[in-house]
Structure 1
Amino acid sequence: MRAAILVEGVSDQAALRALALRRGRDLPAEGIEVVAMDGATNAARYLHDYGPAGCGVLLAGLFDEAEERFFRLGLERAGFDPGPKTEDLEELGFFVCRADLEDELIRAVGADEVLRLVVAEGEERSFRTLQRQPAMRDKSLVHQLRRMMGGRTGGKERWARLLVETVPLEQVPYPLDAVLAQLA
């Protein structure tokens, strides 16, 4: 392995692997591993293990907006200078999803198109039930779709892959393309 892309979980991992295939890239053949860390709170450990004090491979990463502090702290502990701004993290190859991966993908595909995909996947009844719940009634369609994707075991991974396979390549969210380009 010559490089690692550190991601929070299996949904990010599935999305990047699917996008790499769509872009004609074979990450394992390139010596690039997409590493799911089982949560951003583990960033410091993985950055240490894969960084200069560990394996010493080239690093990149993808994280949700709310988890930036864990990556920033992990980078500092691993001997990197992450700087004070999010853009400084990009210079090190670490990119933020606003607000999270699912939000990025839903906005890129379009909420109405995602809803059509929900129907095509046989999930309309379940989704309509979710929409009728008191806590969901006043939420936006994007919020409801994000909630549905994370509501079942394996759901985020499944939907991340489906949305990456659906999004037009010219509309792929910036952080996904940028993190793959970092290790091109």
Structure 2
Amino acid sequence: MADMESFREAVTAWAAGGPDGPDDPDDPGDFARELAARLAVRTVVLLEGPSDVAAVDALAAGRDRDLEAEGVCVLSMGGAMSVGRFAQLLGPPGLGLRLTGLCDEAERRYYARGLERAGAAPDFFVCTADLEDELIRALGVTRVVELIRAEGDLRALETFLRQPAQQGRTPQQQLRRFLGTKKGRKIQYGRVLVEALDPGLVPAPLDDLLDHLLAGV
């Protein structure tokens, strides 16, 4: 049965080895096109990685939003430098879908250039440093440490904080680094930190992205 995960997988495979143009007879995007029509996909949210997906999905769930039912595909590209390729395939030159996204400040230029070259509107939202930094600032260091304790990672955090490289960094910087020290941890805490947010504390880039998606329904 076709579902949004099937569409994500098809698009990722297409981006990894797609043809030079949409009229290629062996175009691996045919399946992606078929799924997009079958699932009534209207919008794709281009995200750098799976931790961003976890955060967006958690916020949507907390607001009783069913993004898939709204025709929204939340897609991890495996890095911001891939945005141009995905925009070409999914935007005006390809499937003609509405594109938006969320990125780190350092990757703003990739998003701006990639969307512009695809003829897509520059509808994306930018975190001051990255999404983890935004979430830590919104919750505060004390609350984030409480959540780390609840997740059973306090001992790992304490060991990490004793490392010489962490001395001289602010607590916020230390926590941000900690979240990226183990595979899967950023994904885990992308969800945990968002679920712990009070409604009024959602970082502006993430909040604005969800509002933008609602406006397009």
TM-score (structure 1 length as normaliser): 0.92
Match of 1:159 among 172, 186, 189: 189
> Partner amino acid for 2:208?
A
SS of match in other structure, 1:34? strand
SS of match in other structure, 1:122? coil
CA distance in 2, matches of 1:139, 1:13: 28
1:70-115 deviations in Å (ceiling 9; x for gaps): 111101211247xxxxxxxxxx320001100000001111111001
| 8 Å Cα contact 2:84-2:117 kept in structure 1 | yes
| 8 Å Cα contact 1:111-1:142 kept in structure 2 | yes
CA distance in 1, matches of 2:112, 2:165: 33
1:117-161 deviations in Å (ceiling 9; x for gaps): 111111111111111111101111111111111111111100110
SS of match in other structure, 1:35? strand
| 8 Å Cα contact 1:93-1:179 kept in structure 2 | no
CA distance in 2, matches of 1:77, 1:93: 14
CA distance in 2, matches of 1:138, 1:158: 27
> Partner amino acid for 2:171?
L
Q: Which residue of 2 aligns with 1:85?
A: none
| Superposition pairs of residues 6-45 of structure 1, within 5 angstroms | 6-45=46-85
Could you tell me which runs of 5 or more consecutive residues in structure 2 were left unpaired when the two chains were aligned.
1-40
1:7-57 deviations in Å (ceiling 9; x for gaps): 100000110011001111000111101010000010101111111011111
TM-score (structure 2 length as normaliser): 0.78
CA distance in 1, matches of 2:61, 2:152: 26
| 8 Å Cα contact 2:91-2:120 kept in structure 1 | no
> Partner amino acid for 1:55?
L
- 2:202 is the counterpart of 1:172: yes
The 1:57–1:80 alpha-carbon spacing in structure 2 relative to 1, beyond 3 Å, is closer
| Superposition pairs of residues 132-147 of structure 1, within 5 angstroms | 132-147=162-177
> Partner amino acid for 2:116?
E
CA distance in 1, matches of 2:151, 2:213: 33
Q: Which aligned segments of 4 or more residues in structure 1 are displaced greater than 4 angstroms?
A: none
| 8 Å Cα contact 2:102-2:206 kept in structure 1 | yes
CA distance in 2, matches of 1:63, 1:117: 24
CA distance in 2, matches of 1:75, 1:122: 41
SS of match in other structure, 1:138? coil
> Partner amino acid for 1:3?
T
Aligned residues: 174
